[in-house]
Amino acid sequence: MNNRTGNIIWERQYNHTAHRRRLKRLYKYYFAPVVLIAVLTAFLKGIGEGLGVILVFGSIGGLFLLWFWLIGLNQRMNPTITEDGDYLYCGRTKVKMEQITAFSTYMLSGASMLVQSGSGTTWSKGGSAGCAVFLLSDQEKVRFKWPNIENEDLEKVKLALDSVLPNKWRPAENIPMS
């Protein structure tokens, strides 16, 4: 059981190893040379110049760290789909299961999209995104979205949704996307 609402039917796996590898490369190939350059500059030119090197290159390194943190944040967005018998939940989005007439899963490439999660709402620009769209009985559409998801994971989303919504999957081209 999810502590929020119901049974978890799908959970996105976050690749901690890849994240640690990115940070390790940043420390090894960026921060270590910056510290060495700063120490040499401080020794040869003075403390002020050494602090200047740390300030300039440290700011750039901070931007790299922020970029890596945002990659990880995008990969942790909407990590589960849960169901409680009446509703499906993904992040802050919910859809009443009895109103769903059809659903589809598809990939977006190079799209900007607004993604909601338990921690807030953010824009994901560019890259790829996976979507599950639900066509409701009143012809309204509800979407679950995941930035930077792999095709294999999107296939797992389809299988998980098919387990609670049997025989309702349709190819994306058969569901109007307007």
Domain boundaries, the chain: 16-75, 80-174
Question: 105 and 161 in contact (C-beta within 8 Å)?
Answer: yes
Structure confidence by residue, pLDDT tens digits, 28-59: 999 999 999 999 999 999 999 999 999 999 99
Q: What is the signed CA dihedral for 147, 151, 152, 157, rounded to 10 degrees?
A: 60
Return the higher-pLDDT residue of 25 and 147: 25
Q: Which two tokens stand for residue 99?
A: 């109103």
Least Cα distance to 5 among 89, 79, 80, 77 occurs for: 89
CATH topology of domain 80-174: PH-domain like (2.30.29)
Which pTM was predicted?
A: 0.67
Say how far apart CA 18 and CA 22 lie, in whole Å. Answer: 6
Portion of the chain with pLDDT greater than 90, in percent:
49
β-pair type (113-117, 100-109):
unpaired
